[in-house]
Amino acid sequence: MQEWDGVDGYIVDKLLGDDRELTEVLEANAAAGLPAIDVSPAQGKLLHLLARCMNARRVLEVGTLGGYSTIWLVRALPGDGHVVTLELDPHHAEVARANFERARVNQKIDVREGPALKSLEDLAREAQMFDLVFIDADKQNNARYVQAALEVARSGALIIVDNVVREGRVLDERPPDPATLGTRQLFDMIAAEPRLDATAIQTVGVKKWDGFLMAIVK
């Protein structure tokens, strides 16, 4: 809806302002042929604020794309903070790495290429621990990603999952596509998981009608 876009523009004008670094990321992504499925600017700022609320030092991201959301997150971290971000597609990872260098945040970001479920196993084996996990990759694996995140999230960590509403498809579509099925498995898994306390919030804006789920590890 045009009004949603207009209001998102107003919010960005008033509260986010011009951000040359992040604009350059979106331009580089478009030039490299990446799909424009990054979080919106207002959502990116929300991730950034949540990371600051958490006093996060170690952030895990599942689904890098060109690293737009990664840069919002890394900006929230103290000098010794870092982000590990997981990406399947080598081309996406390459574009992201170039974006991180241009934005001079590459030293704080570890891009791990390959299937995220495999990288999550590696992180658990390395006994890495995270304060905040942002899950934004292939939606059919969302329940598995949250289960794996529980192995590397400290007590009190925040887990955020993007795109859990997708214009209402979470309820509507019959028969469901794999992403919708994955979203329902995610809600079922979290409803049955005693270690998590969760909610989900619907959003509208330049990315249409969607929403995110957030959960705290008890």
- Using the rule CB under 5 A, give the single segment among 92-100, 106-114, 134-142, 196-204 that binds Mg ion: 134-142
Cβ(86)–Cβ(110) below 8 Å = no
Q: Is residue 163 part of the contact set for Mg ion (CB under 5 A)?
A: yes
Among 8, 87, 131, 210, binds ligand SAH (CB under 6 A): 87
CA separation for the pair 129, 112 (Å, rounded)? 16
Element (H, E) at 160: strand 153-162
Report the residue number, 81 or 160, with the smaller CB distance to ligand DHB: 160
End-to-end CA distance of the chain: 38
- Binding to ligand SAH in span 47-66, by CB under 6 A: 63-65
Report the residue number, 55 or 202, with the smaller CB distance to Mg ion: 202
Q: How far is the CB of 129 from ligand DHB (least distance, A)?
A: 25
Among 28, 86, 133, 160, binds ligand SAH (CB under 6 A): 86
- Binding to ligand SAH in span 98-117, by CB under 6 A: 115-116
Q: What share of the chain is helix, strand, coil (3-state, %, to 5)?
A: 50, 20, 30
Give Cβ neighbours of residue 41 (< 8 Å, ≥ 6 apart): 8, 12, 16, 19, 22
CA separation for the pair 137, 116 (Å, rounded)? 8
Among 88, 123, 133, 165, binds ligand SAH (CB under 6 A): 88
CA separation for the pair 74, 106 (Å, rounded)? 10
Report the residue number, 119 or 203, with the smaller CB distance to ligand DHB: 203
The residues of the shown chain that bind ligand DHB, judged by CB under 6 A, are 37, 136, 162-163
Q: How far is the CB of 88 from ligand DHB (least distance, A)?
A: 12
Among 136, 159, 180, 217, binds Mg ion (CB under 5 A): 136
DSSP 174: S
